[in-house]
Chain A
């Protein structure tokens, strides 16, 4: 009887689910340490003000209060570092203003932390914080990028003239200008990418703990990358050496980017627990999440495309203003540059591209990577522009895409904006998506909808993205202050079970399952005998965490490298036991076999020998079967695909319903199809949210109005259609698994598909473009032409 198939390609049920489903998940706020105190952060309710003083006397005298700290108390503590330095067009470095842990001198956004109260209970800390008297002198504030760059705009930082963080460019301006000068047609589009709030369901939380007898600090935190936090906080903020600082990120309830960054509260609880020699917990309330978790997107762009008479793309010119918020979050500067402008070739062989990106400070929450990070901005701009080009030139939307696709025999393909794509087949994903979505049958569905008084539209996007940002040498030359490799430690235990220690993390992607499948597959060990451990710097050698859909492509590849070492060593042990030459020993399905014979040893037997080395080549080989590998990828991976969206609009109310959605993605090799489907559906849900519902609304004074779950509208169960998910695979050519990444494709491919469908539905109204979210208000205004005043 064959064993059930559990390896790469099997839809294994998730190992993590039993604890989640029974209420035994282990999230930071579920942890309580003996003698734990609670911190409450007093935050600015002003968008921009001088901080003239804080009277802490009444708060300090409040029941249960142990300490009250303001910036004056944080002597010797550094500011929060930024992990990426961008250079201006003229070669000078970006403006990089200080980002204090607690505001000092000025507050710059609503939510800026000004003081921390530590008390015996959370409620006591909160009650005492009410008694802090903060003396502010209000300053004029600026909330949007367009306002921030106006002459005379309020200045967020003294060191950033005109509120500009950097003014950066990429591509060949001369070639683009020349192409535009001689183009048969040009198309221009102004568009925005709406500001989003990630809103992972688990609010951020942190617990600091200090052991005075060993001098060791422990930080439990809701993080996607505990080692990065240890490095940034230890080295730059608190100057705690790594060997005395343990960072634990247990189960994390969603992140979507927002839990990558090093936040002030992590430093505060670590520092305060050391000072008080008692554990200190902080857990965000949802309103704090809204005003302190990094937001996403927020671009205003102009895009121009030059075309030949036959519709061939000749050149692309893009100018983007992007919002950094009030301070630079950990990876913020990289998002609108190396994760956005470098993606502007998309799936098209446009020969010349030039992009200018100006990053701007405003009195808003810092903006950083959110699911997709830069690539959704690029795909939205490009896929809208291509639809508009088709419309303006009278070409078919599908044909203009096919005509300009990078053909599948052109790989590796060097784009004009730095990236080199390794593999892809954009025709295959397009054809499959059109087939699954029944694109050809759409006219009949449109006619049927019209008969019921509904406007039906169909739209597509043929997007491309880049995952697993790398290699370290290249990102270093582009301004990254970190390496972007990954680490795996594979420990084969004496009786043959395996523990895998990975430097990546999981905040819902099911890595405990997929990574176990991968190891089970490669080592021939039963799935149930493989355990994946992540999220604890005291267990895992090092790691860069999870973001940019990197965990399998980079973390999984590190595992393969570590397993290669296990197998290499295992062959030597097997050769010794089987009295054969090492070269003659093959490893397959968990067995070391002398080629051409039936003499073999299982991995368990080899492991036992390695740990009980009685009959062992001890002169040449150390005992044990435990290997670590660091893997630095040669390149990004390039998932891509085609999303097709079909909407119906009630012309009388402006309400849009997504009635069909088809996603066909090339995510490289699929390890667990069930999990891939969930990841794609989840990404599409967030993409539909961006396209139709979500919008962070600031008023002119920098107050966040959409600051609750009732005011910031996200998709619920009734907003999502049945999302059909398919895959068409080309393998990544430069990593050992051929995987590309699936965590973000849904959020990258779907927004332009939705808006292209909405615009198509409104084609009778002469609509060329509308910005996200496509709210009933906007649709109705388009249908009506201009806002009508009161009847009669």
Chain B
């Protein structure tokens, strides 16, 4: 870790304005200041010296950023600084968004979940071993090419992987995109904007050196979830090489709105660890909409979910893994 100064602003606006600040996940590798939420991924990047900021701006002193609240209409807002433990254990989350609670409860271990925040989790950088290796000057770090595409790519993307084959590291993001969550962003002038989480993530085709749409002097402050329609069913499943404390090889979130007639009105099927951003499997969603979901529809949707996949030399196994997880997640949601 390089030497850095440490600032603890009292308000979000102050935090956004304090320096030429940018959030931890969108900085290129030599930015002069970074925001620190839980700090887990940030400390990792600092220890690898992939980030060498002059100032670390601590967000933990800002009051209220960890609140989990429900408005009169039943919509839920989760403060970006709420820890993963707080989110996973919160009755509002467990009650209305069990797939999110599951996705988060399976992340890392309890010691990390006690510190890591939901905002920081969404903004963590990918865990590609080439990206995190100081010895590999990859495309995302301003180098000439993606080492994974013709290298050791067993853990890499099977969609949208022609330029850079990272996978998005957050299982919470998989669930939140499936839940059509929105993020609230706060800038240095005190203005806020909201946009769908799905649009917030930036793929390599749009910008190879960033993973989200956070602007300079902007802070992610909250995640908004709409009240689920009645008849909403959901599930999140993950599969790692190990059962616990491992990056998933594949994770899947499914959210289904089932009408009183048993017909699926709306479906969200999102694959994590599949693409540089959480991958919405539209063909799978279409395969479910307007049908009575069951084994047959789940199987069709699972097959459709992999349509357009372009596996690399070592990760074709992920196709079967995802197909299975999608089918099982649909059935788990219905169960």
Contacts and interface: CB of A to CB of B under 8 A. Distances in A.
A622 interface: no
A775 interface: yes
Interface in B300-328: 303, 306-311, 314-317, 319-321, 323-325
Given A699-B152, A705-B129, A705-B133, A790 B242 contact: no
Interface in A62-102: none
Contacts, number: 96
Given A707-B133, A719-B242, A788 B316 contact: yes
Contacts of A789: 311, 316
A110 B135 CA distance: 10
Contacts of B239: 653, 655, 776
Contacts of A777: 154, 314-315, 317
A781 interface: yes
Interface size class of A (residues with CB under 8 A): 35 or more
Contacts of A653: 239, 320-321, 324-325
B316 A45 contact: no
Given A705-B129, A710-B247, A791 B303 contact: yes
B306 A713 contact: no
B292 interface: no
Interface string A696-731: 010110010111101101011111000000000000
B134 A705 contact: no
Interface of chain B, main secondary structure? loop
Given A45-B135, A790-B306, A780 B242 contact: no
A699 B147 contact: yes
A784 B320 CA distance: 9
A45 B249 CA distance: 29
B127 interface: yes
Contact of A780 (B243, B245, B306, B320): B320
A699 B151 contact: yes
B146 to A, nearest CB: 13
Interface residues of B, number: 40
Contacts of B244: 716-718
B261 interface: no
Given A45-B135, A699-B152, A790 B311 contact: yes
B317 A787 contact: yes
A776 B310 CA distance: 19
B136 A703 contact: yes
A713 B246 contact: yes
Interface of chain A, main secondary structure? loop
Nearest to A714: B242
Interface string B185-216: 00000000000000000000000000000000
A693 interface: yes
B37 to A, nearest CB: 20
Contact of A788 (B147, B319, B324): B319
Nearest to A783: B320
Contacts of B308: 790
Interface string B246-261: 1101000000000000
Given A699-B147, A710-B247, A790-B307, A776 B317 contact: yes
B71 interface: no
A707 B133 CA distance: 9
Interface string B126-139: 01011011111000
Contact of A791 (B135, B154, B246, B309): B309
Nearest to B242: A719
Contacts of A711: 129
A718 to B, nearest CB: 4
Nearest to B303: A791
Interface in B244-286: 244-247, 249
B152 A45 contact: no
Interface of B: 2-3, 127, 129-130, 132-136, 147, 151-152, 154, 239, 241-247, 249, 303, 306-311, 314-317, 319-321, 323-325
29 contacts: A45-B134, A127-B3, A652-B320, A653-B324, A653-B325, A655-B239, A699-B147, A699-B152, A703-B133, A705-B130, A711-B129, A718-B242, A718-B244, A719-B242, A775-B241, A776-B239, A776-B241, A777-B315, A777-B317, A781-B316, A784-B320, A787-B317, A788-B316, A788-B319, A789-B316, A790-B307, A790-B308, A790-B311, A791-B319
Given A45-B134, A127-B2, 8 more contacts: A652-B320, A653-B239, A703-B136, A708-B132, A710-B246, A718-B242, A777-B314, A792-B303
